[in-house]
Each structure stands twice: as C-alpha cells, then as structure tokens.
Chains A and B, each alone.
Chain A
Amino acid sequence: MKLSKEFVLRNFADKYIAVTVNDSADEQNAFITLNKSGAFVWELLQNEISYDEILSEIIKKYDIDANTAKSDLDEFLTIVRKAGMLHE
C-alpha cells in the first residue's frame, strides 16, 4: 500500500495536517490532522510498503506491543482509507 501523491503533509501550529493538492484540491477540500505517530506512518507510506512492514517499524520505533501497534495502525488506515488517500 501507498499514499496518494494528491495529499501532502504540512506542519501547521505544531500539528501535522494532510491536505489535498494538485487537481484533487478542486474535487474535495478534505484535511486530516495527525499526531506524531500518525505522521511517522504517513512518511512510511510515501513509498510502497506492506501492512506487516509498517507494523514492525512502529514496534521498533515506539517500543510497544504488537496488539497496541496493530490497533493504532488499523485506526490510522481506516481514516486515510475513508479520505480516499490510500492506494492498495
């Protein structure tokens, strides 16, 4: 999976905000606000990466158990999927 290039991450007011750019900006003006770990996953998804690879990166970075990492990742993926930001 990989994130669409039609969205970019901006760092406004100590927040990570993903906004639409290019021609997609005409169709929808969606933006989502991410926390720091969301921004970390966002960066990973700039290049083609598998679910399991993301999971292992999160566990490595944040030193958390697999179940917590999994539920956090699933929550993140649900949001970006719903916003049409994910290519699978």
Chain B
Amino acid sequence: MSSVRDVVNTYGYYSATVHGYSMYPLLINHRDSVYVEKTGSYKKYDVALFERKDGQLVLHRILKIKDGVFYFCGDNDFIIEKVKKEQLIGKMTEFSRKGKEYTVEHFGYRLYSRVWCFSLFTKRVLRRIYGLFHRA
C-alpha cells in the first residue's frame, strides 16, 4: 500500500500519531494520534487531512468553505491555506489526547474548537493566555 490516500480509499480509514505543532494545543507532536475516515461531506470546524501539491500530508482545521474552496488553518497557525476538494483525503472523527480517546462529538472538544477558532484574533488572545500556563 503506497500512499495514505490509497489506505483511506481501500480501508475507509487511517490512523497515525501527529507530527509537528500546528494543531497545538489540541494535538501534541509524537504523543497524540488521530483516526481519519473517508467522507464525502466536510463542514466548518472539521479537522481534515489533505495533500499539498508537493505531496506533503497536512492535518488542519476547516475555517471556511466557499465556492468549493476549503480554507484551512492549524489550531496553532495564523495563516489560512486554500485547498481544493480533490486534495482532501478524509476527516478526523476521533483522536487521542494524553492517551485518552475522544470522538469529535465530545462536548469539551466541540466547545474548544468553536471558541479557539472563532476568529484569528480570539485564537491569538487565547493562545497567549494558554501559553502563560503551559510551555509547549
């Protein structure tokens, strides 16, 4: 099985531990993992896996969908990236954080994703407050 896209298309899902810090403070590098499912429907606030033109895989959050274009941003990022539908691989339906599993229907997670990503401004403020109490 060559690529992640092939795995998702064949088995309907993919799972891996996250790399990098772009989804901090939700997902921590090399510690937390995600469960990604194949889907035809994506909505605002979904965390989804997509493939950049250079083949790099990215797991970020959808902040806006307009005219068939998906606007992605990592929870720890402030730059919005435009992604086309054909680049999408699947969406995160479950994840583990500090060794405990959650679905994306979990109340605390839903609250977090809506508040944290309400706007880049609120994210910047919350990021700073969070940073005072946690060292990344």
- B-binding residues in A (CB < 8 A): 8, 10-13, 17, 19-23, 25-26, 29, 31, 33
Contact = CB atoms under 8 A, between A and B. Distances in A.
Given A8-B99, A11-B101, A19 B93 contact: no
A66 B18 CA distance: 40
A13 B94 contact: yes
Interface residues on B, range: 10 to 19
B123 interface: no
Contacts, number: 45
Given A12-B94, A19-B17, A31-B16, A26 B30 contact: yes
Contact of B33 (A19, A23, A26): A19
Interface of B: 4, 13-17, 19, 30-31, 33, 35, 37, 93-94, 96, 99, 101
Nearest to A30: B16
B45 to A, nearest CB: 20
Contacts of A33: 15
A11 B99 CA distance: 10
A31 B30 contact: no
B16 A26 contact: no
Contacts of B14: 31
Q: 7 nearest interchain CB pairs?
A: A12-B35, A25-B17, A31-B15, A12-B94, A17-B15, A19-B33, A29-B16
Given A22-B30, A29-B16, 14 more contacts: A10-B96, A10-B101, A11-B101, A12-B15, A12-B96, A13-B35, A13-B94, A17-B15, A20-B17, A21-B31, A29-B4, A29-B17, A31-B16, A33-B15
A25 B16 CA distance: 8
